[in-house]
Amino acid sequence: MARIPDAWRAEQRPDFQGPALIDTHIWIWYLDGAEDRIHAGALELLRRCVRGEGLLVSDISAWELGTKAAKGHIHLSPSAAGWVAAAGRRRGFDFLPVDRATLLASTSLPGQIHGDPADRILMATAALSGLPLVTADRHIVEYARREGGLSVCDARP
């Protein structure tokens, strides 16, 4: 089997059916129908995962979503808690708890990465679990290319 690049486009893995970890913004965009913000190939990969092995949402994403809503950066109906509860009932999605090992690993990622704790926890989760992280975050994609050890599906249009 050919080596999977650390940062890759969905077209490079046309048979991938999950499971995959998704970044907070991908979760919001996908469930709220803002699919134009996700690369067409990545969108198809997400759909395959929903039908296949599933998409995983880290509990840190629920925290991040609630934090952004509390600050007025996003508006969720009826509330952040209601949105997360409804999202948790969607077929093909499952929540992944954040454990102590992941929290500690997020503090010692190799190389240079920005200080966003949610991103660091998502990256550590993906690295420790061997799951690909689907993201449109340029910083995470560039980090995976530069540092390796983290499988990232680049979902940028």
pLDDT tens readout for residues 95-106 = 999 999 999 999
Q: In which domain, by residue range, is 69 found?
A: 7-154
Judge contact between 55 and 90, C-beta under 8 A: no
- Asked if residue 1 is part of any domain, the answer here is no
What pLDDT digit, counting tens, does each position of 21-65 carry? 999 999 999 999 999 999 999 999 999 999 999 999 999 999 999
Residue type, 49: C
- Asked if residue 136 is part of any domain, the answer here is yes
The Cα–Cα gap between 110 and 126 comes to 14
Question: Collapsing DSSP states into helix, strand and coil, what is residue 4?
Answer: coil
- Asked if residue 119 is part of any domain, the answer here is yes
- Asked if residue 111 is part of any domain, the answer here is yes
> What domain count does the chain have?
1
pTM, two decimals, is 0.94
The Cα–Cα gap between 138 and 68 comes to 19
- Asked if residue 107 is part of any domain, the answer here is yes
- Asked if residue 99 is part of any domain, the answer here is yes
- 99 Cβ contact list (under 8 Å, min separation 6): none
Q: CATH number for the domain including 70?
A: 3.40.50.1010
- Asked if residue 2 is part of any domain, the answer here is no
